[in-house]
Each structure stands twice: as C-alpha cells, then as structure tokens.
Amino acid sequence: MPVDGQPQSVRKAVVVGGNRIPFARTGGAYTKSSNQDMLTAALDGLIARFGLQEERIGEVAAGAVLKHSRDFNLTREAVLGSALSPETPAYDLQQACATGLETVLGLANKIRLGQLDSAIAGGVDSASDAPIAVSEGLREVLLDLSRAKTLPQRLQILARLRPKDLAPDAPNTGEPRTGLSMGEHQALTTAQWNISREAQDELALNSHRNLAAAYEAGFFDDLLTPYRGLTRDSNLRPDTSPEKLATLKPVFGRNLGSEATMTAGNSTPLTDGASTVLLASEDWADGHDLPKLATVLDGEAAAVDFVHGKDGLLMAPVFAVPRLLARNGLTLDDIDFFEIHEAFAGTVLSTLAAWEDEKFGRERLGLDGAFGKVDRSRLNVNGSSLAAGHPFAATGGRIVATLAKMLHEKGTSGGRPALGLVSVCAAGGQGVVALLEAYSAGTTPGDIHD
C-alpha cells in the first residue's frame, strides 16, 4: 500500500554521488576564498568525477548562510564559472544550517515528480570572507544622499553623520529575538537535559576518531577534491584524547549557575567550505552510466518555540524525526545509520536524551512512552561536524553524500535495503530531517515498508 499522500506515480530520486572541498577552520586555508570560489570548486570536482562537462543539468540549488549582497545569484554565478553547460538553471535557497539538506529534499521531490531528471544540491559558507555591513546610521545617510538633488540638501544630510555611525556592523550568529548566541542557547538545553562534560567530550572524541579512520581507509577518496593545498578537513585532530579535551576551558554557559560544560572541543568551530550532491532519476543515471548509491525517501521539517523558552533552540529535529519515521512506518530500531549533525556535542546528546525520556515522549511527542534509543554504534560512524567542521550551508551536502556512500556499501540489512536518517538543526529554532535508503532496483517508493 502506498504511504499516505504519496501518489503512486512518483519516481525514485537517487543520489549518484557527491563532492566537497575539505572544510577549513576560519582564518585558515580559505581565508581569501569567496563563497562563489568555493562553490565553483566543489562543482568542478563533482563535474570531473562524473564527467558532466558541458552537461545541461536540470537544476542546481545551493545557498549560503553568510552572504554578501553581491551574491544575490550565487549559485547561478557558480554554475556559469563551472564546466557545466551555461544552459543549466540555478537558484539560491537559505534555511540557515538546514540549507544544504533542504536543497537535497526540494530537488529530490522535483525529480520524483518528473519535473527534473538531474539536479545538483549544495551549499557553501565562509566565515572568513563574511560580509561586513555599514551601520544603520551610515546606511540611511548614504541612501538619503543618493536621493538628494541639490548641494545644500546633500550637506544637510551629511551633517547628520555621527562618529559612531562609521563603525562597521560585523556579522554575528546571535538569535535576533533573544540576543543569545547559538552556543549560549545550547548551553541552556545542555544543562536542562543534564548532559555531562564527559559525555560531550566522549562524543567529540568519537567524531575525530571516526573521521580520521574514514580518511585512513580512503573512504573520502571519491567524496572530496582538495582545494588550496588542503587535502583533509583542517579541524580534524586524529591524535586528540580524553585528557586533551578535558583540559579545555568552558566557553558557553558560564553564567547559568550550574557547572559549565561546553568547550571549544565539544562545540563546532566556525568553518569555511562547500559541498555538492548529484541527484538524478534512475533513467538519467542509467543513461549516463552513473552509479545509484541511495534513494532519497522522505523528509520533514519542524520548528520550536525557543523564544519563549518552551524548547531549546536546536531541538526541532526531536519533533521532526518521530513524525518522519511514523509516516514511513519505521522506528529508530530500523535505522542502520544515524547522521545527527553535531552543532554541539550537547545538541546530539540532548536530542538522544529527549527521545529516551518517557515523560517527554508522552507529553511532548504524544507517544505512549519514550520515543526510543539510538544505537550509538550506528551514530555518525564516519565522524561528523565536531571533527569535520561546519560551514553552515555546506553541512547538509557533506552528510547526504557521506551517508549515501555508507548505505551503498552496506547494501542490505535484515533482507531489506539499509536505511539512513539525517538530522540537521538550524538557527531560528528549526530542523530538517531526511530518510535515505540504499539503492535497490525494482522497488518503488511507498511499497517498501508495508
């Protein structure tokens, strides 16, 4: 029986593969690279890997969270600078840190509906090359000046300028409605769910160890293209240890009364980077002799009321995942790989704690009890953002391409295609989650899990 709301005529949208540039800590290797430079590089690597030179792709969607006003057509400009056919249309999308995953879901849906045969999803961010705006005072003066017609008018307007107006407006990641930074918000949630410093450090340690092991095994050989002398994520510390992580001083939540637990080691640093994912219909992939790694099954978005403190800023996926799995007739036990974006170790652990909490399950998720337990041996097995870094809009593409390859390598699990869950939290109290499955021929979406 088809799943509710999914017409039986929809096609499969498959992940062919991905490409990203190594992620660099801000102020590092990509200090002089713009969003457009990095996105173009990530696209060109993808084009080279899959032989897409001069190919007219159905649509390219990507975005950046920190964006210059001149980047109004960022993705299209990157396409024009790449080896793709200049007849490839493109658009920008932005949903904070969920940007990358949302481009995947939106394009996959277009493929499933038959509107597109091929698409490239992606994202890029540079915290190094961040836009700096002029102050509101100066901006108003400049705009009024441009409308003034006579010299006396112009002088009158200029006379309004005060020295403080000349200070630039640097970007910040604070929430506009609370004034709190993301880290401070997470510190509230971390404390609320009693997540220990040790547990956070352990998660961070696993992230580094798993990512380092994946590099050593050559797992990223066909997922990454070096850029500006960088061949691996510069944030990766293969030799980090519990002792080293334990020496770091807390940086968030120092005024909460309780013990501060969030350090630079268990929080993601500001990072520069770009990622891309090639999506296609089965026919297009076959017609181009390209692999089909995984199928994009479904996605779900959620948002929470963090402004009034009802839920933590980064807790929206806690609500999105149960809805997504219920719609697909699945439980956490059915999932072979969990890719839960590590904005902070505390975010992942708070999410898991909420799902394991009976009261939360009954009262907030409307279930009979706790939602369930995530098998930690299936969580972020090739590392995640704590080790790789987190160039906001590029994280979704990193995760989807990584997961698709893992699913492909796993193949089947218990007689059915292996399943993977992606969860990405985002500013504004939002979250986007997605379900992917190892590609297998013959089945159609909707009749897999009945």
Partner 1 sequence: MTDTYARLVNHGLGRDLARKLGLPQPAELRRYHPGQPLIDGPVLVGGSGPGADGIAAALLSWGLDVRRHAVPKEKLGGIVLVLDAVEAPVDLQQPVLAAAPSLRDLTPGGRVVTVSRVPGGTPSTAAARQGVDGLLRSLAKELRGGATGNGILLAEDISPTAPSALGALRFFLSGRSAFVDGQFVRVSSADGRMPDDADAPLAGKVAVVTGAARGIGAAIARTLHRDGATVVAVDVPAAGDHLAEVANGISGTALQLDITRDDAGQRIIEHAVQRHGRLDVVVHNAGITRDKLLANMDQARWGSVIDVNIGAQLRINEALLASEHFRSAPRIVAVASTSGIAGNRGQTNYAASKGGVMGMVRATAPLLAEYGGSINAVAPGFIETEMTARIPFATREIARRLNSLQQGGRPEDVAEAISFLAGDSGGGISGEVLRVCGQNLVGA
Distances (CA, A) of 2 to 107, 158, 269, 364, 421: 21, 66, 43, 28, 20
Q: Is 127 in the site for partner 1 (CB under 8 A)?
A: no
CB of 309 to partner 1, least distance (A): 47
Contact at 8 Å (CB) between 382 and 304?
no
Contact track, partner 1, 68-87, x by CB under 8 A: ---------------x----
Q: Which amino acid is at 445?
A: P
Between 54 and 358, whose beta carbon lies closer to partner 1?
A: 54
Question: Exactly one of 13, 24, 47, 61 binds partner 1 (CB under 8 A); which one?
Answer: 47
Contact at 8 Å (CB) between 228 and 237?
no
CB of 36 to partner 1, least distance (A): 17
Per the structure block, which two tokens stand in for 136? 């509101």
Contact at 8 Å (CB) between 48 and 150?
no
Contact at 8 Å (CB) between 337 and 327?
no
CB of 55 to partner 1, least distance (A): 10
Contact track, partner 1, 196-235, x by CB under 8 A: ----------------------x-xxx-xxxx---x----
Between 216 and 358, whose beta carbon lies closer to partner 1?
A: 216
Question: Exactly one of 50, 306, 344, 371 binds partner 1 (CB under 8 A); which one?
Answer: 50
Question: Exactly one of 4, 239, 243, 289 binds partner 1 (CB under 8 A); which one?
Answer: 289
Q: Is 37 in the site for partner 1 (CB under 8 A)?
A: no
CB of 286 to partner 1, least distance (A): 11
CB of 41 to partner 1, least distance (A): 7
Give the count of residues interacting with partner 1 (CB under 8 A): 23
Find the part of the chain contacting partner 1 (CB under 8 A) among 25-33, 285-293, 309-317, 342-350. 285-293
The CA distance from 402 to 398, in Å, is: 6
H or E segment and range at residue 300: strand 294-303
Pick from 8, 6, 17, 3: which is nearest to 294 by CA?
17
Which active-site residues does the annotation give?
Answer: 97, 390, 425
How many residues belong to the chain? 450
Find the part of the chain contacting partner 1 (CB under 8 A) among 57-65, 260-268, 288-296, 337-345. 288-296
Q: Is 54 in the site for partner 1 (CB under 8 A)?
A: yes
| DSSP code, position 106 | H
Q: Using CA atoms in the order 236, 207, 21, 89, what is the torsion angle rounded to 10 degrees?
A: -160
CB of 219 to partner 1, least distance (A): 11
The CA distance from 125 to 36, in Å, is: 9
Pick from 268, 252, 212, 271: which is nearest to 26 by CA?
271
* Binding interface with partner 1 (CB under 8 A): 41, 44-45, 47-51, 53-54, 83, 218, 220-222, 224-227, 231, 289-291
